[in-house]
Amino acid sequence: MSKDLRTYLQQLQERYPDHLKIVDKEVDPKWEITAMVEKLRREQNGFPAVLFCNVKGSNLPVLINLAGSYERLALAIETNVKNMVPEYARREGNFTAPKEVDRGEAPVKEVVWTGDQVDLRKLPIVWHNELDSGYYVDAGPAIVKDPDTGKQNAGIYRHELQAKDELGFMSNPAHHGSYVLRRYREMGQPMEVAIAVGHHPAWPMAGVSKLGGIGGELEVAGGLLGEPLEVVQGETVDLLVPARAEIVIEGVLDTDPEKLRHEGPFGEYPRFYTGVGLMPWLKVTAITMRRDAIYQTVFNAHTEHTCLGALPRMGSLFRRVREVIPTVTMVNLPVSGMGRGHAYISMKKARDGEPKQVAFAAFAVDPLVKHVFVVDDDVDVFNEEEVLWCMCTRFQADRDLAIIPFALDGHLSPNNYDIDRDERSEDRHKKVMATKMILDLTKPAPPTFYPTPCAVPEEVVQRADTADLKPFEGLEQILRPRTA
Ligand code: MN
C-alpha cells in the first residue's frame, strides 16, 4: 500500500509507541487543543503528537503536534536525528514524478462536497493562540499552477476561516505561491488553489523544501517517500491533488488587486503575532475527504511550527549550498533562530573566502536566512556552545564580519523594515527587508599556522570506565599511613 498519514501513524506506533496519545474527552477547538500541547511542553515528559477524537462542533478528529519532534520527522524519512539533514537532502534531490490514479482508487474522493454542501465550519478547524484572529487551516500545502510553465507548486500558507465557503490566503511575498499569484494578477486571471490537509509527513515537508524555481514539490514528496506520490484530478479545479490525503479543500482566488480583505493576526514562526492587513481570499468550490477523515493542524508559533519549518530547510540548504561549495559538511538551523534565521554551517575549508561564498549561497536558497555562521568541520553545528566558542576564538569582527543591509527577507519578523527603514509601519506588504550578517568563524586556510584545540587522546577517553568510580564515604577512606 502506498504511504500516507495512516501508514506513517502505524510506523510511529511500532517505532516510538509513546509518541502518539489520544484524548476522548470533548474539547473546544478554540484553545483547548493547543492548551494540551502547551501543557505537554512544560511538563518535559515526552512531547507526543495528540489525536483529539471528540471535538465540539465537528464529527472529525484533530491531529496536532505530529511534526513537533525531530525524532518523528526523521522517522518519516526512515532515519534518525543525527543523520536527518544529509538524508533529507539525498531524498529531496531524488525527484520522483507523481503517479496519477483514477478517482476510484483515490480515498480522498470518498466524500465530495460541492456547491451548497461546502461548509468549512463542519471541519474541526482550530483556534490556536489567544490573539489569533480566529480559526486557521495551517497544515496543508496549497497547490497552485504556474501559468507560464504549467508546473504545480505547493507551499504551506495560512488560511483564516472567514465564512462557510471562504478562506484567507496569506503567503510570504518571497515564496513561490506569491510569485504565481502576482503572475495571475498581471494576466487578469483568477488563481485555482487546492489545499491538501493530512498526509504522510513527507507531504508538508516537501511543501517547505526550498527548491530552485517554481514547482517540484510533488516530485520532492515522491523523493522523500521513496515512491511516487499518488495524485488525482481535482473536483472543481484543474489541478492534480494528493489522492491519499485526508482532506482536500479546492477553491478559486480572485486576483483583482482591489479584492482584498483584512486578515490576521496569527502567531507566526518568530513567535509573535505578525503579518496583519489586507490579503486576498479563496472562494471554496469543493471539499473532498475520506469517509473517516483525520483533520490535521500545526501548532503555530510553537515547537511544531519551528521543527516542521526547519528540517526541510536544513536539507535544502545542505543540498543546494553543496552545489556551490562541495566541502560543506553540515547545516543546522537552530531553535534560537526559530529554525529559519540563524544558519550554522560547517565546512572543510581549503581557501580563504570560501565561507562567504557558502553564506551567499545560503541567502540565495532561503530569504529567511538572516545570520550565517560558518565554522570549520571540527565543530558540531548542533552544539550552539561550540559555534559561539568559535565566535570568541576564531573570529575578529573587523575582519570576519560582513553586513548586508536592505536585503530581501520575510514579512513576518517583528523588526523587518521597508525601503524608508521604517520598522514600525504596519504595512506588512512593504516590510520585507532585513539586514543580513555573515560571520566567518573559520580558521585561516591552511597552511597558515593555527593552534590545536586541547583534548585528551580519544583512544584513552574510550578506555576510561566510569564503573571504576566509587562513592566518597569520608576522609578515613583515603587518609591512611602509606609507605613509600
Ligand atoms: Mn516552490
For the cut 90, the answer to whether the pLDDT of residue 155 exceeds it is yes
Q: Which domains does the chain have, with CATH numbers?
A: 5-303 (2.30.110.10), 324-450 (3.40.1670.10)
Q: How far is the CA of 288 from the centre of ligand 1 (A)?
A: 24
Q: How far is the CA of 188 from the centre of ligand 1 (A)?
A: 22
Confidence band for 303, pLDDT divided at 50, 70 and 90: very high
- Contact between 409 and 367 under an 8 Å Cβ cutoff? The reply is yes
* Neighbour count for residue 445 (Cβ, 10 Å): 14
Q: With pLDDT > 90 as the criterion, what percentage of the chain qualifies?
A: 93
Cα angle for residues 90, 204, 60 (degrees, 5° grid)? 145
Beta-carbon contacts of 79 under 8 Å, excluding residues fewer than 6 positions away, are 87
C-alpha cell at 178: 506569491
Q: How far is the CA of 141 from the centre of ligand 1 (A)?
A: 11
pLDDT at position 60 = 98
Q: How far is the CA of 423 from the centre of ligand 1 (A)?
A: 28
pLDDT at position 442 = 98
Q: How far is the CA of 386 from the centre of ligand 1 (A)?
A: 34
Q: How far is the CA of 218 from the centre of ligand 1 (A)?
A: 10
- Contact between 51 and 22 under an 8 Å Cβ cutoff? The reply is yes
Q: How far is the CA of 177 from the centre of ligand 1 (A)?
A: 7
Q: How far is the CA of 122 from the centre of ligand 1 (A)?
A: 30
Q: How far is the CA of 382 from the centre of ligand 1 (A)?
A: 27
pLDDT at position 484 = 64
**CA separation (Å) from 442 to 322, 364, 401?**
17, 21, 12
For the cut 90, the answer to whether the pLDDT of residue 482 exceeds it is no
What is the Cα–Cα distance from 266 to 274, expressed in whole angstroms? 6
Q: What is the mean pLDDT of residues 404-433?
A: 88
Largest CA distance in the chain: 98
Q: How far is the CA of 59 from the centre of ligand 1 (A)?
A: 34
Q: How far is the CA of 203 from the centre of ligand 1 (A)?
A: 13
Q: How far is the CA of 154 from the centre of ligand 1 (A)?
A: 6
Q: How far is the CA of 155 from the centre of ligand 1 (A)?
A: 6
Q: How far is the CA of 399 from the centre of ligand 1 (A)?
A: 36
CB neighbour burial string for 103-115, b if at least 16 within 10 angstroms, e if fewer: eeebbbbeeebee
Q: How far is the CA of 249 from the centre of ligand 1 (A)?
A: 19
Which segment of 171-175, 379-383, 453-457 scores lowest on mean pLDDT? 171-175
Q: How far is the CA of 213 from the centre of ligand 1 (A)?
A: 7
Q: How far is the CA of 368 from the centre of ligand 1 (A)?
A: 15
Q: How far is the CA of 176 from the centre of ligand 1 (A)?
A: 5
Mean pLDDT across the chain:
96
Q: What is the mean pLDDT of residues 443-447?
A: 94
pLDDT at position 275 = 86
Q: How far is the CA of 377 from the centre of ligand 1 (A)?
A: 31
pLDDT at position 425 = 76
Q: How far is the CA of 92 from the centre of ligand 1 (A)?
A: 13
Cα angle for residues 268, 273, 276 (degrees, 5° grid)? 100
Residues 105-145 pLDDT 10s: 999 999 999 999 999 999 999 999 999 999 999 999 999 99
Residues 210-223 pLDDT 10s: 999 999 999 999 99
